[in-house]
């Protein structure tokens, strides 16, 4: 390598970053850590959970109070009663296959139709006159 | 065992395991190299500090996913190159300052750095992009052929070939420049 290149290399290697660079980086990192908002979703989740827990007992109490004060059966109660199924067991339809049934008689075979010539064909008028 | 004796990989491992002080050591260890590269890659030295800062801020996040497939500096180099490209794209079309304006530094040192970076940039600017990268990494940053290949995402043979072409071209340019200097004197 030539002397010029070596000298240039030495000059290049002597370049130093300013002393305040590291301080600036540290300050920036501190700022970023300070401004981090990663706790917001967690806090929001907790707040929603607390709200749900606080509201749910009130709803249940109100439902109980409504059902206790009702003098006439409500429609919702009626629908619940109507939905009660009978306790008797329904026959299992799949068992029907196991019942043996007598085989059906063989289907009677019809005589083969006679070959018809053109002259056998009767018109409707001829059929009526024959019938008469 | 002081932080200076720990290898780059060990430092990154410490940082990944939650030791935040290891990151300070990483910054101290690599800031000069990242800054130098930024000085050469950028057309505006004033932004080199901003680039170096951005590189380390991104690496603070990114090192959590570092898989040790390459050396930490190789990884940082790629990030520096990307950030420099972004800055250059943003700065394209704007007027460039000709003098450094970092008020917090020794002006003489600052000017010397500025000139050294400018000379390196002038020297490598005649080369095609890939050869320029090889010269910067292999000659000026003293990376091994393997590390250079990893940083550039190519084979070691390609690095050797590119380096051969680049050094021949640089030698010629330097000889011509010294001849011209001798003729004028």
**Closest approach of A45 to chain B, Cα-based (Å):** 26
DSSP summary character for residue A115: P
**Inter-residue contact B38 to B58 (CB < 8 Å):** no
Cβ distance of A1 and B28 shorter than 8 Å: no
Mean pLDDT of chain A: 75
**Backbone φ and ψ of A47, nearest 5°:** -60, -45
Give residue A68's pLDDT. 62
Q: Which residue of A has its CA nearest to B30?
A: A17
Give residue B95's pLDDT. 45
Which of residues B30 and A72 earns the better pLDDT score?
B30
pLDDT over 90 (residue B162): yes
Mutate to test the interface with B, among A18, A31, A33 (most CBs of B within 10 A): A18
Answer yes or no: is the ipTM higher than 0.85. no
Cβ distance of B116 and A16 shorter than 8 Å: no
- Chain A hits for B168, CB-CB cut-off 8 Å, are none
Rounded CA separation A18/B50 (Å): 11
Mutate to test the interface with B, among A7, A10, A20, A25 (most CBs of B within 10 A): A25
Question: What is the pLDDT averaged over residues B85-96?
Answer: 72
Mean pLDDT of chain B: 84
Instruction: Give the residue ranges of DSSP H helices in chain B.
Output: 8-16, 21-41, 46-62, 72-91, 107-125, 129-134, 145-152, 156-184
Which of residues B19 and A121 earns the better pLDDT score?
B19
**Backbone φ and ψ of B19, nearest 5°:** -85, 100
B127 CB-near residues (< 8 Å, 6+ apart): B135, B166, B169, B170
Mutate to test the interface with B, among A17, A22, A29 (most CBs of B within 10 A): A17
Give residue B79's pLDDT. 94
CA neighbours closer than 13 Å in the CB half-sphere of residue A15: 31
pLDDT over 80 (residue B149): yes
Which of residues A1 and B114 earns the better pLDDT score?
B114
Cβ distance of B35 and A22 shorter than 8 Å: no
Q: How confident is the model at residue B35 (pLDDT cuts 50, 70, 90)?
A: very high
Which of residues A115 and B163 earns the better pLDDT score?
B163
* Digit-coded pLDDT (tens) for A76-93: 776 766 666 666 777 677
Interface of A with B (CB under 8 A): 1-2, 4-5, 8-9, 11-22, 24-26, 28-29, 32
**Inter-residue contact B9 to B16 (CB < 8 Å):** no
* Digit-coded pLDDT (tens) for A19-34: 888 899 988 887 776 5
Cβ distance of A22 and B27 shorter than 8 Å: yes
Whole-structure pTM value: 0.62
Percent of chain B beyond pLDDT 90? 41
């Amino acid at each position: 390598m030539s002397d010029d290149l070596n000298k240039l290399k030495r000059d290049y290697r002597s370049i130093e970053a300013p002393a305040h660079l590291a301080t600036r980086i540290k300050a920036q990192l501190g700022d970023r850590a300070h401004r981090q908002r990663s706790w917001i979703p967690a806090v929001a989740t907790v707040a929603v959970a607390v709200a749900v827990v606080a509201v749910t007992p009130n709803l249940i109490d109100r439902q109980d109070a409504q059902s206790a004060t009702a003098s006439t059966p409500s429609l919702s109660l009626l629908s619940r009663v109507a939905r009660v199924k009978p306790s008797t067991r329904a026959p299992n339809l799949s068992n029907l296959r196991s019942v043996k049934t007598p085989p059906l008689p063989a289907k009677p075979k019809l005589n083969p139709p006679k070959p018809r010539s053109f002259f056998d064909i009767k018109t409707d008028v001829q059929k009526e006159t024959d019938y008469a | 065992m002081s932080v200076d004796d720990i290898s780059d990989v060990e430092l990154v491992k410490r940082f990944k395991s939650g030791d935040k002080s290891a990151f300070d050591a990483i910054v101290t260890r690599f800031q000069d190299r990242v800054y130098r590269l930024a000085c050469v890659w950028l057309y505006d030295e004033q932004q080199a500090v901003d680039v170096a800062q951005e590189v380390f801020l991104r690496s603070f996040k990114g090192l959590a996913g570092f898989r040790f497939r390459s050396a930490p500096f190789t990884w940082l180099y790629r990030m520096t190159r990307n950030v420099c490209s972004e800055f250059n794209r943003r700065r394209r079309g704007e007027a460039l300052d000709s003098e450094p304006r970092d008020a917090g530094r020794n002006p003489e040192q600052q000017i010397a750095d500025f000139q050294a970076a400018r000379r390196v940039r002038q020297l490598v600017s005649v080369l095609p992009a890939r050869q320029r990268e090889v010269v910067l990494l292999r000659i000026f940053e003293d990376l091994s052929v393997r590390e250079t290949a990893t940083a550039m995402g190519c084979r070691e043979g390609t690095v050797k070939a590119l380096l051969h072409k680049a050094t021949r071209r640089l030698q010629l340019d330097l000889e011509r420049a010294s001849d011209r200097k001798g003729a004028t004197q």
